[in-house]
Amino acid sequence: MSDRMFTVSSSPHIRSNDTVQGIMRDVVIALLPATIAGIYFFKMQGLLVILASVLSCVGAEALWQKLTHRKVTIFDLSAVITGLLLAFNLPAHVPLWLPVVGGFIAIIVVKQFFGGLGQNIVNPALAARAVLLASWPVHMTNWTVDGVSSATPLGVLKEGGTAVAGLMDVFIGNTGGCIGETSAIALLIGGAYLLYKRVISWHIPVSYIGTVLVLTTVIGRNGFMTGDGLFEILAGGLMIGAFFMATDYTTSPMSKKGHLIFGIGCGVLTSLIRIFGGYAEGVSYSILIMNLFVPLIDRYTTPRVFGEVK
């Protein structure tokens, strides 16, 4: 008789050493370059908005879980990420009560009301941004760089003007915009880290960015083949949306085929909103709309379970 002991357990039998905290920690690390860039370009005001947003999200999660007698899970870092992403989607010179209100909307209304981590149907930070933009549009469109008010590069194009920022400006981040979206190079570094750590796959970012590149070049703001696709993908919130928000596990499809459909859908909507819509930037609404289609995408793209009888 063999002395070896075997462990018998139920499925799943394929396991990973990844934890929620470990994955979230990698995302926080990936967001550090954009955080540093945001503080560098927007100075103390940018730092204060980031701190107010993160602390309000963490505080809202702890308060809700205490009041509902649930386990406090703020150390899994998911609320920190929501706070960072919310701050990155805000102008630097908003009043500090605005990220606090946004943090409570993101955590309590969008996340906790639906059951907490892994249960929300749309991205909490983007949903909160949409509410803030609809409620306080003046504060949410106050773009300032070095104390001087200015329009965003996409805003100038939307008004029919000529881009005042060059490719190098939008690549580095020396231009008007939200705190975390202006520096494409910082976001690309963070996205590359997530790909290296296999926290995300390439399917959504590449299909999303590639679709915007092609469509904005071909359709063009002034007619067929008049667009500058490279400028369009570097300016605005496309990079942060493609790498950090469209790839959210909870609100994106499960299969690789679903990821491609999701990314292409986001890219089509972003391009149409930017070129034909009344809003200069289409990333937030595109991702939120596609979040709602995720159950339908999963229904038709998730592989059949082995041995399943239809």
Other C-beta atoms within 10 Å of 84: how many?
A: 26
C-alpha–C-alpha distance, residues 310 and 300, integer Å: 14
Residue type at position 107: I
- Residue 226: the pLDDT is 82
Residue type at position 12: P
Q: Is the N-terminal amide bond of 91 cis, ω within 30° of 0?
A: no
- Residue 277: the pLDDT is 87
Other C-beta atoms within 10 Å of 46: how many?
A: 24
pLDDT exceeds cutoff 90 at 165:
no
The CATH number fitting domain 20-301, selected from 4.10.280, 1.20.120, 2.170.130, 1.10.3430: 1.10.3430
pLDDT exceeds cutoff 60 at 111:
yes
- Residue 35: the pLDDT is 95
- Residue 161: the pLDDT is 61
Angle at 236 between CA 211 and CA 140, to 5 degrees: 135
pLDDT exceeds cutoff 70 at 128:
yes
C-alpha–C-alpha distance, residues 276 and 69, integer Å: 48
Per the model's pLDDT, the better-predicted residue between 148 and 140 turns out to be: 140
pTM (two decimals): 0.89
C-alpha–C-alpha distance, residues 134 and 249, integer Å: 26
Cβ(46)–Cβ(92) below 8 Å: yes
Q: What is the DSSP string of 242-301?
A: IIIITT-STTS-SSHHHHHHHHHHHHHHHHHHHHHSSSS--HHHHHHHHHHHHHHHHHHH
Helix (H) or strand (E) holding 145: strand 144-145
- Residue 160: the pLDDT is 67
- Residue 201: the pLDDT is 95
Cα–Cα distance list, 299 to 16, 228, 253, 294, 304 (Å): 25, 36, 9, 8, 10
- Residue 148: the pLDDT is 56
- Lowest-confidence range among 85-94, 193-202, 235-244, 296-305? 296-305
Residue 49 contacts by C-beta under 8 Å, 6 or more apart in sequence? 87, 90, 92, 94, 96, 99, 179
Which residue(s) pair with 144 in the sheet? 149
Q: What is the pLDDT of residues 39-98, one digit of tens each?
A: 999 999 999 999 999 999 999 999 999 999 999 989 999 999 999 999 999 999 899 999
